[in-house]
Structure 1
Amino acid sequence: MKRLLQAGLTGVGLLWLDLALAAQPAATTAAATTAAAGSASGQLGRLVLGLLLVLGLIFFLAWLLRRVQNVTPRGQQVIEIVGTRVVGPRDRLLLVQVGNEQILIGHTPGSLTALHVLAEPVQVPASARQATPEFAQRLMELLGKDQKDKS
């Protein structure tokens, strides 16, 4: 999907460039050159308008891409990360729930290792699962977004 949007954006940019070049009349006489120099403000206005159009298109496609990526429903996921613990600069432990089974996984930059399959699942309070890092929570407050909108 990302490649399709990039190809579409490239195609729109090339089409816009082609139309802009085709719209400029070929000035062959000296009178036409002086007239074109007099309409520099008109050319600047068209340039700014085109730039705003391209920037608006980029922001729209970024918004659309974010919406398309978040299409998967969260309630129907089979694998869920129940908890994490950082044990080193780049190492951490993950408690993953698959169905009714919980697995403790060691995560390093080069590998994932199943350390233990828990015989009895750990009961995690619902408030602990919904916790967000303090920075993310503060950023959401500053942006005026509610955490309920995210799920």
Structure 2
Amino acid sequence: DYMKDIRKKGSEIIDKARLEHKQIIVLAGRPYHLDPEVNHGINKLITSLGAAVISEDIIAARTKKQPVDVLNQWTYHARLYSAAEYVTTQADMNLVQLVSFGCGLDAVTTDEVRSILEKHGKIYTQIKIDEITNLGAVKIRLRSLFAALEQ
């Protein structure tokens, strides 16, 4: 089963990161955002900064569905909100949300994910991937996230 294999590999990444005392970044985005051609290799940039990277579908099933402040009728949104809830229970995990400016539904998800994370004291980080011309600005944003986490 594909999802079972994905979650197993994700658990291995989490276990290894914890043994090595690394931050774990949940890189959350629509399925097409995870394509390296679309996201410009953001996952590799995060690992080059010393963190482990997993996708939201690896952890979304680890928590019960929580009530949200929006109409939640899409599978991706439900998975995203569940992943955000789970991240709030893990000291070594943070979520970075990839969004597309042209996708109107991302406006809804960003507000809800921000609310979930911030009400539990987590930092919300968003990257608009269709505004990227080079990774310099993304690198600065991610370095700022890691610096804030160290404080």
- What TM-score does the superposition give when structure 1 sets the normalisation length? 0.19
- What TM-score does the superposition give when structure 2 sets the normalisation length? 0.19
Q: Which has the larger radius of gyration?
A: 1
